[in-house]
Structure 1
Amino acid sequence: MKKYITSLTLALVAIIILASCKKYLDVVPDNVATIDNAFTMRTQAEKYLFTCFSYLPRDGSLNDDPAFSGGDEMWQIEGRKAYFDMAKGLQNKVSPLGDRWPVLYRGIRDCNIFLENIGKVPDLSETEKLRWISEVKFLKAYYHFYLLRMYGPIPLVRENLPIDADINQVKVLRNPADECFAYVVQLINEATPGLPLTIADPGRDMGRITQPIALSLKAQVLITAASPLFNGNTDQMGIKNPDGTALFNTVYSKTKWDSAAVACKKAISICHSVGIKLFKFVPDAATPNLSQALRTQMSIRNSVAQKWNSEIIWANTQSNASGLQSLISTWWDPALLDGTTAHGELSPPLKIAEMFYTQNGVPINEDKSWNYEERYGIKTSRPEDKYYLRADYTTANLHFNREPRFYADLGFDGGIFYGQGRYDDANPSNLFYLEAKFKQRNGFGKPDFSTVTGYYIKKLVHYQNVIGSGNSYTVNAYPWPMIRLADLYLMYAEALNESEGPVADVYTYLDLVRERAGLNSVQSSWTNFSTNPDKFRSKDGLRTIIHQERLIELAFESKRFWDLRRWKTAEDELNIPIRGWDLGQQQSAAYYRPTVIFNQTFGIKDYFWPINESYIVTNRNLVQNLGW
């Protein structure tokens, strides 16, 4: 049996040094936890396989996903922790918030142990062995990629260090970014042929890796490598290893976008070949008379909240959106659900509400038929607003004539919140709506719950969640979508625009996403309604459109956090104050006054996590990230 470095001191050198093989999980008879026993038979090796899966970060989890609440997409009740402190600018290098360095390197270590030992298992078929090896290579690639997004250039762990490694081997260096991306892609390429096209036994194996997942991740990796954060980023030119090796290639390369576009198209093709398609809601027994307006909203919401729907490429079964839904759901009917538990405490800021398009499919500050200057004024809803707004309800102009994704994603004062057992769309006056002014049913002013901005997240709440009595709230859980087809379409549109400019396929894949969202094509919308009607004709203008389309379509899905960073636009967006309505007011005219909640700050150093300074003290070959 190969032996590995066990010293805690050496482990801290890079946090990639192997823990003792005797510390492996208890997966063998009589609690004898050794690597040799773990690979003596198929059943034990399978446990080790699932251990390799267990390191997957739980995206969409408030306590495990920095991209969910660590940016500017939602704000929390004061006093809550998790990654909210990162959003408030409290990151540090002594004990970094959300530090993934140690746990993901442990995951990589276990992946390497698996790959080194799986050949010893006597009762494992060659077909199954190939699949398991491929899955673990994929996981090893993903863990490296996750670290790379967080910390920038990282030490690569192609294989585990032996116990007799000398001190120079132990004191590892960070590998240049391009080398890191190349290695991740190499692992995915090696893994892909041995993976199944689809999951043959969904009841047992959903969440395991397929070829569409692998190729879609490859597309995401190459998009990241081609983006400004890693492609020609001169801000990072001073980051070098002690031997003088530059960690960032500061010269822009169009070839990176070319490769990303090819990878995206290949991923789309394989997804289409196995029947993955944009989800469109089909009315069921509970929704027999669903209007077209509500059907469109349900298609948008359930592309995320309906588990294993036709659009899901990869979902994380370790991240179950159950507690999250209770946390973000508004306080429903006081007669049916009491307020002893915090509800609705994750609140989208005003700038997120302003991000969505008008009903004409263009930004609110570009639509020549929409009064942008009067967006904070108020008016009373009309009969034609019945599927979006409560009848005869006074609310902000900002809430009128918006695109379907605005109404599908957001809850707000006077807005219809479809679902939760209230399906009487034949009589819209019976549809549930929110009352969010001071001390109203869904408003601010009650102890320990409700919105802090005036908005709620509707998109992630399953429409069939059932309200019971007392504090009863039955939630339809779903695994968190890591990659869905709309994301892949938009990645392809972005990469192709950067590679070739505004060619036909860019519009095709943008418009597929827009059509599902109830909007006309980019060309039609900008030509007929925008004050900048030629915007879509240039690469720069279309880039801006694609970026906003991604931010809207993938809102609240842990994408904005990473996109703003890879585009290097976080310094613009995350220095905009967090604002909401004046929640202490009961009258509409006073309530609808924008109020600053927090002044966010973001600088160049915030694009990457700090490396825990204790690791650097132990290993001087590890250089710290810029600004930390």
Structure 2
Amino acid sequence: MYGPIPLKKENLPINEGVEEVKVYRDPVDECINYIVQLIDESIPDLPQIITSEATELGRITQPAAMSLKAYVLVTAASPLFNGNKDYDNFKDNRGTLLFNPTYENEKWVKAKDACAAAIDAAELAGNKIYYYDQSNRQYPVSETIRTQMNIRNSFNEKWNAEIIWCTTNSMTGDMQNQSTPRGLDPARRANSSTPGNFSVPLKVADLFYTKNGVPIEEDKTWHYGSRFNLKEGTTEYRYYIQPGYTTALINFDREPRYYADLGFDGGIWYGQGKFVDTATWFLSAKKGEPASKVTNNAFNVTGIWPKKLVNYVNVIEENSYSRETYPWPEMRLSNLYLLYAEALNESEGPSELVYELLDAIRSRAGLPGVVDAWTNFSNNPSKPNTKEGLRDIIQRERTLELMFEGQRFWDLRRWKKAVQELNKPVTGWDIEQQTAAGYYRSRLLYQQKFATRNYLWPIKENEILANKNTVQNPGW
């Protein structure tokens, strides 16, 4: 958030003078090294696995600490902190340079090695890519719904084998209320109490791949310019879109994560008390319909909901909404695979191992491998063969796999892509319209603004006034 911070490795004496208390900010590289040092010191004393699950689930383990170390080192190697020329003259009042302006590939090598070690530790402890196991489930599902369960449950099935570290003090119950559309079950009063305010911008819906596993703007079989045109659902799409319901082309022929992660007008919503493929809910969100704006404090402003955040076993009952809460996953094995793929590509360039890491995640999501997808369906078939092209693919894959998990906010900053991405307008459907032709028009909701200075947050003015040795971050 702030970049360089003061490191106090020993407490100051209680009788220290005023000037000695006015500490300096230490250079970023020194801050990173100290964080890594502290993590390394902790690892030998941590358990490899939790043995007393009833009382200690959520406790930090060796794999959790090693994963955090890997994430720290990937962050340190990323463009915001590795050779960032924007901070060439960022010095304190002693003339000490707080950012190293020279790019160092060795930082990516250290990150790569830390990721490999963390993956080894996690897999030794039993972590693996999650797949929905319906052998002991009361409700068997089709292959299509099972793929969606692979995706949704890898995040919100608590303590599943993919999760390396969860925070047990998280409040996912209220979050699920905000992510569940009101009127999903119009016959039950309880569903009128779910506000469903969490709204997904259209630009996020655009990011998901086509069913062929490439971006919609790159797929040579997909008509990107026509994505707002209308089409009626048929039985061919019955697991995704309500047959006979008119919706936009943007909702057709998308990757499974699109349907697992997003709720949209006309879209099928599996779970919440209906667990048979042929009796799933579907959303109807145009004006006057059950999921539309009924009150001024309980409606979805874009017309798209983050379904991924809602556990499928929650049940909408007559007078209550029974929720299966879950601790927030801070680190999943898929996250660690993506960090490793990124560090490998940045330090060494494209390789079979990078493709294997990406394909392990894509396979779970029902997608072809990276090379096959780009070779057969992209208008840029050689993209995975270069470091720059594969970097773009890895970053897009990371964004999609970890959507709504709190990663994109920080990834855009460390990649120095926030200036491009966070100056794009926030748009949604025209939710005040009753007809499909009126509803499926992009409506400007908010014009985001992000300047270079926003990559680092400002130091409070009172802190600077109290300590003349604390210099402000650039641009503030």
TM-score (normalizing by structure 1): 0.74
What is the identity, as a one-letter code, of the residue corresponding to 1:418? Y
Among 379, 403, 409, the residue aligned to 1:561: 409
Note if contact 2:190-2:316 (Cα within 8 Å) is conserved in structure 1. no
Among 179, 192, 196, the residue aligned to 1:344: 196
Q: Compared with structure 1, are the counterparts of its residues 342 and 609 closer, same or farther at alpha carbon in structure 2 (3 Å cutoff)?
A: farther
In the other structure, the counterpart of 1:312 is 163
How far does the alpha carbon of each residue in 1:458-484 deviate from its partner, in whole angstroms, 9 at most, with x for none? 0010001111223x1111110000000
CA-CA distance at 1:438 after TM superposition: 1.2
In the other structure, the counterpart of 1:266 is 117
How far does the alpha carbon of each residue in 1:427-450 deviate from its partner, in whole angstroms, 9 at most, with x for none? x2x210000111311113433112
Among 422, 426, 433, the residue aligned to 1:574: 422
In the other structure, the counterpart of 2:26 is 175
In the other structure, the counterpart of 1:451 is 300
CA-CA distance at 1:164 after TM superposition: 1.4
1:409 aligns with 2:257: no
In the other structure, the counterpart of 1:30 is none
1:251 aligns with 2:70: no
Displacement over 3 Å in runs of 4+? 284-288, 338-342
Find the residue that maps to 1:322 and give its secondary structure.
helix
In the other structure, the counterpart of 2:224 is 372
Note if contact 2:139-2:276 (Cα within 8 Å) is conserved in structure 1. no
1:151 aligns with 2:2: yes
1:362 aligns with 2:214: yes
In the other structure, the counterpart of 1:541 is 389
Note if contact 1:286-1:423 (Cα within 8 Å) is conserved in structure 2. no
In the other structure, the counterpart of 1:96 is none
Find the residue that maps to 2:239 and give its secondary structure.
coil
Note if contact 2:119-2:336 (Cα within 8 Å) is conserved in structure 1. yes
Between 232-241 and 519-528, the greater mean CA deviation after superposition? 232-241
Note if contact 2:190-2:317 (Cα within 8 Å) is conserved in structure 1. no
Identify unmatched segments of 5+ residues in structure 2. Answer: none
Counterpart-to-counterpart distance in 2, 1:607 and 1:317: 29
In the other structure, the counterpart of 1:27 is none
Counterpart-to-counterpart distance in 1, 2:211 and 2:44: 44
What is the identity, as a one-letter code, of the residue corresponding to 1:468? E
What is the identity, as a one-letter code, of the residue corresponding to 1:315? C
Find the residue that maps to 2:116 and give its secondary structure.
helix
CA-CA distance at 1:194 after TM superposition: 1.3
Counterpart-to-counterpart distance in 1, 2:284 and 2:364: 29
Q: Compared with structure 1, are the counterparts of its residues 617 and 170 closer, same or farther at alpha carbon in structure 2 (3 Å cutoff)?
A: same
In the other structure, the counterpart of 2:331 is 483
CA-CA distance at 1:341 after TM superposition: 3.9
CA-CA distance at 1:278 after TM superposition: 0.7
How far does the alpha carbon of each residue in 1:103-133 deviate from its partner, in whole angstroms, 9 at most, with x for none? xxxxxxxxxxxxxxxxxxxxxxxxxxxxxxx
Counterpart-to-counterpart distance in 1, 2:188 and 2:474: 53
In the other structure, the counterpart of 1:77 is none
Among 48, 53, 73, the residue aligned to 1:197: 48
Counterpart-to-counterpart distance in 2, 1:275 and 1:286: 22
% identical equivalent positions: 51
In the other structure, the counterpart of 2:459 is 611
TM-score (normalizing by structure 2): 0.98
1:511-522 alignment runs, 5 A limit: 511-522=359-370
What is the identity, as a one-letter code, of the residue corresponding to 1:175? D
In the other structure, the counterpart of 2:347 is 499
In the other structure, the counterpart of 1:624 is 472
Note if contact 1:502-1:537 (Cα within 8 Å) is conserved in structure 2. yes
Please say which structure displays the higher CA radius of gyration: 1
CA-CA distance at 1:200 after TM superposition: 1.2
Q: Compared with structure 1, are the counterparts of its residues 610 and 277 closer, same or farther at alpha carbon in structure 2 (3 Å cutoff)?
A: same
In the other structure, the counterpart of 1:112 is none
Q: How many residues align?
A: 475
CA-CA distance at 1:605 after TM superposition: 1.1
CA-CA distance at 1:284 after TM superposition: 5.7
What is the identity, as a one-letter code, of the residue corresponding to 1:336? R
Among 243, 266, 274, the residue aligned to 1:422: 274
Counterpart-to-counterpart distance in 2, 1:518 and 1:279: 13
Among 289, 307, 324, the residue aligned to 2:140: 289
In the other structure, the counterpart of 2:448 is 600
Identify unmatched segments of 5+ residues in structure 1. Answer: 1-149
What is the identity, as a one-letter code, of the residue corresponding to 1:555? M
In the other structure, the counterpart of 1:473 is 321
How far does the alpha carbon of each residue in 1:282-305 deviate from its partner, in whole angstroms, 9 at most, with x for none? 126655330111001011001111
